[in-house]
Each structure stands twice: as C-alpha cells, then as structure tokens.
Amino acid sequence: MEKLEGRQSRKKVVAVVGGGLVGALNACFFAKRGFNVHVFESREDIRKAKIVKGRSINLALSHRGRQALKHVGMEDKIISKGIPMHARMIHSLSGKQSPIPYGRKGQYILSVDRANLNKELLSGKRRQKDAEDLNDRRSDGSKDQIHADLIVGCDGAFSATRKQFLRRSRFNYSQTYIPHGYMELTMPPVNGEFAMKPNYLHIWPRNTFMMIALPNLDKTFTCTLFMPFEDFEKITTGDEVIQFFQSYFPDTIPLIGVEALKKDYFRLPAQAMVSVKCSPYHIGDKCVLMGDAAHAVVPFYGQGMNAGFEDCIVFDELMEQFNEDFCAVLPEYTRVRVPDDHAIADLAMYNYVEMRAHVNSKWFLFRKYVDNVLHFFLPKTIIPLYTMVTFTRIPYHHAVERWHWQNKVINYGLLLSAVGAVLGGSYLLTKHSQQVNNLAVPAEKMWTRLVSFRIPGMMTTQM
C-alpha cells in the first residue's frame, strides 16, 4: 500500500467541480489519461437519488457530443438508449403535420434522457482507473479537502468556480436573461404506444412562443413550452390553461389530457434561460472552465451540451499535442475555444431573436430552399449552417464565417440570375410577346408552390 501510494503520488490530481453532464464526461477523459480524478458535486449522487431535480428531462445529442462520447468509448452505450429524430414535425394550428428533414438521408439527432446520460457518464468514470467519487460536503457538514494540480470548473451556468475568476483583472464576463421561460409537460403513451410519431422532434411554432416535444424510451413525450414570462403569468387557473391550449395547441389536449394539463402547468414555475459569455477560460496552469460554466447558451440550437462535450475533446486533443503540460494546454484551450463557444452562444441567440422576425419572410424561406437545393448539387461547396453546426465538427466560428461567405455568394448569384431573368424576359416579351403570353403561369401561383415546399417554423427551423 505504501509503495502504491508512493507511485500514485506522482500522478497529477485533477479536481472536477460539478458532476453534471460535462463534469462527468470530463472525469472520463482525465481518468482515461491516468490522472487521479476527484469529482465534487453539490447535489445528491444522481445514481442514488429517487427524484432528479434540474433542467430539461431530455436533450438532443448530435455529432459533436457523439464524437466526445466516442473518445471515451461510450458512444454505443448512449446511442443504444437514444431515440433517433430524423426530422422536425411541424404542427400547424389546424393540426396539419409537415416533416422537415434535418439533413440528408441517414442524418439525424438523438433524443437522450438527461438523468440516464449523467448516470452512465458517472459510472463510466468509475470504470476508468483511479477515478474517485467525492462529495464536497460530508453528512456532518464538514468539507473534504484535496490538493489538486488542476481544478476543472464544470459547475454549470451559475458556476462558483467562475466567481473566483470574476475577482481577477482582465476577466471579461457578460450574462443575458431572455424574456422567455420554459415549462415541461408530459405526454403519456396511448395504449402502450407513443401518442405521436416517435422519430421526430415535434414543433408547434406560434410566433412569439412555441412548444416542442422529444420522445422518451418509456414512450412518453416531454413537451417543452417556451413563452415570455409575462404570458406564463397571465394564466392563473386550470380553465385558462385549457383555453390557452385550445387556442394554440388544440391537437395536444387529448394527448396530454385535460386534467394532467391543468395540474402539470402549475407543478413548477416556468424556468429562466440565461446566456453567459466569458474569457479567458483559464487561470495560469491551475484552473479551467468548461461546459455551461464557461458558456451557457440559450437552448434554441440544441447545442449547449454538445458544445460542452466538444470542450472536453478539444482539451484532450491539446493535452495530446502539448504532452499534458498544463502551462501550454490551458492558454491554448482559451485561445482555441473562446471564439467557438462565443459563436455558438451568438448563433443560439440569433435563432431566438432573429427567427421570429424572419420566419414569415418569403425571402427567408426562399433562401433556405435555395441553400438546400445548392447543397444537394454541390455538397462540399455549399453547406447549410444547420448541417455545419449539427452534423460536423467544423469549428463553430468557422461555420459562421463560411455561412456569411455562402450567403454573399448565393445572394450575388441570385441577384445576377434575377437581372438575367429580367433582361431575358424583356427581350422575349418584346420579341415573341404572343407566345410568351400563352406560356405564362401566374407569379403568385409559382411563389405559393415554391414556398409550400418548406413550412414556416418560427424560432424552430434550426432546432
């Protein structure tokens, strides 16, 4: 034992603060490298807890998150318990359902259960060598203390680790609460089967608010209603809940159930959503922030956890590149990662703010259509932003730059085509006016056909 202790003492000790999704995954990465990892979690161990409190019940896992899980040998295990969602299913007010695929055939995102993912990651860490579990408080209130070579702050959007950074000079920090809150409602199975088609992310876009639903393994759906707090607060009785649903989500009333709706709506108050940006992510060679502690993003791109998981791969790649030298790895991590995390925070906010303004614009819908057609014919040259973000590991800020570049090229191309069409049309009109008249299709009809190819989805087409 003595000898073993002696040999182990040469191993660096890593203290991970926060045993949520990113902290637990990070512990797997460090343990895989042979570090002596301690996880400090302020809540009860989720693997033993009877009731799991916290944020969204399920989440969409996409390529970046999967790649991180793959690095620690957990991808297959997690995806075996995920439900593929190949398309959004848009529910109109009349109850009409229209699918919009996420990408090309075979491209999908996965609905995964947050609690299960967290438990698997914590257990995954345990299976790695030399990882230990510690709670930072013993039952008698005293605290465990360790000497750590590196502190990794993965303690979420309200990070206590990050508070220490705030005391320091040249630390930039901003946080923005959006006016919307969210509330989760459960849609139970019908006769033991899913109440709606399971392999879709269902969306009810309703201009200033919307509801989405993701499938769970127990054949329920978790519906999340996103709405301005002031609208949540206007609904104060069970009857008002039903009236509201009757006006905006009538098809969901029989599926969720009148009594369940009346009860669930008041079970918990709507939760707030915050966007946090900061820089740098490190202090010397001693402390580093990852996941929501470094960059909480609003959930309208389905990337918060995926970005946090990608933080872990990026850090691990730098550990490889710099031979685990924290002095080199930490500053480089800040240099590489801050622009990408800021880019996804901006994109998520853009989606939240701008989509509401754009979604009813025919030009916006037409442009989306053009992007998809061009991607089909030139898959390597024109890649829709959603595809770059969700199905590749193109660094987020490169994806944004490329998106701007693509927009310029496509808009320019469209302008030239329009000018060409006008000139050509004028020429035809003057030369062959009789024949052209016979061929003409009403412009309004053409437009309706074109636009109906894609269904409007405010705040949603990127989810």
Ligand X SMILES: Cc1cc2nc3c(=O)[nH]c(=O)nc-3n(C[C@H](O)[C@H](O)[C@H](O)COP(=O)(O)OP(=O)(O)OC[C@H]3O[C@@H](n4cnc5c(N)ncnc54)[C@H](O)[C@@H]3O)c2cc1C
Residue 146: what residue type?
I
Residue of the chain from 15, 59, 151, 455 that contacts ligand X (CB under 6 A): 59
Compute the least distance from the CB of residue 256 to ligand X, in Å.
Answer: 18
Q: How far is the CB of 304 from ligand X (least distance, A)?
A: 3
Site for ligand X in 207-266 (CB under 6 A): 224
The DSSP letter of residue 251 is G
Contact (CB, 8 A) for 154 and 188: no
Scored b (16 or more CB within 10 A) or e, 347-375 reads bbbbbbeebbebbeeeebbbbbebbbebb
For residue 195, what is the DSSP state?
A: S
Contact 107, 391 (CB under 8 A): yes
Q: How, if at all, do strands 200-206 and 172-187 pair?
A: unpaired
Q: Which of 14, 28, 41, 459 binds ligand X (CB under 6 A)?
A: 41
Minimal CB distance residue for ligand X = 20
CB of 158 to ligand X, least distance (A): 7
Among positions 291, 384, 395, 456, the unique one binding ligand X when judged by CB under 6 A: 291
Residue 20 sits in the site that holds ligand X (CB under 6 A): yes
Largest pairwise CA distance in the chain: 100
> Using the rule CB under 6 A, is 56 a contact of ligand X?
yes
Which stretch, 54-62, 81-89, 235-243, 364-372, contacts ligand X (CB under 6 A)? 54-62
Cβ proximity to ligand X: between 32 and 64 the closer is: 64
Which residues fall within 8 angstroms of residue 343, CB to CB, at 6 or more apart?
395, 396, 397, 399, 400
Q: How far apart are CA 354 and CA 68, in angstroms?
A: 30
Does residue 348 interact with ligand X by CB under 6 A? no
Q: Is 186 in the site for ligand X (CB under 6 A)?
A: no
Q: Interface with ligand X includes 18 (CB under 6 A)?
A: yes
Confirm or reject binding of residue 153 to ligand X (CB under 6 A).
Answer: no
Which member of 13, 14, 22, 72 binds ligand X (CB under 6 A)? 22
User: How far apart (Å, rounded) are the C-alpha atoms in residues 20 and 190?
Assistant: 33
CA gap 278, 289 in Å, rounded: 10
Q: Does 304 bind ligand X (CB under 6 A)?
A: yes
| Cα dihedral 51, 55, 57, 63 sign | negative
Residue (198 or 304) nearer to ligand X, CB: 304
Residue closer to ligand X, measured from CB, 185 or 365: 185
CA dihedral 412, 414, 420, 423 (to 10 degrees): -100
Size of the site for ligand X (CB under 6 A): 33
Please report, as a single letter, which amino acid is at residue 387.
Answer: T
Residues 104-143 touching ligand X, rule: CB under 6 A, are 136
Using CB under 6 A, which of the segments 137-145, 152-160, 320-328, 387-395 binds ligand X? 152-160
Using CA atoms in the order 84, 223, 389, 336, what is the torsion angle rounded to 10 degrees?
-120
Give least dist CB 92 to ligand X, A.
Answer: 23
At closest approach, how far in Å is the CB of 353 from ligand X?
17
Of 162, 202, 176, 172, give the one whose Cα is nearest residue 349: 176
Looking at the DSSP assignment, which residues form a beta bridge with residue 61? 110
Interface residue with ligand X among 27, 154, 348, 383 (CB under 6 A) is 154
CB of 37 to ligand X, least distance (A): 14
Q: Summarize as ranges the residues that interact with ligand X (CB under 6 A).
A: 17-23, 40-43, 55-56, 59-60, 136, 154-156, 160, 182, 224, 273, 291-293, 299, 302-306, 308
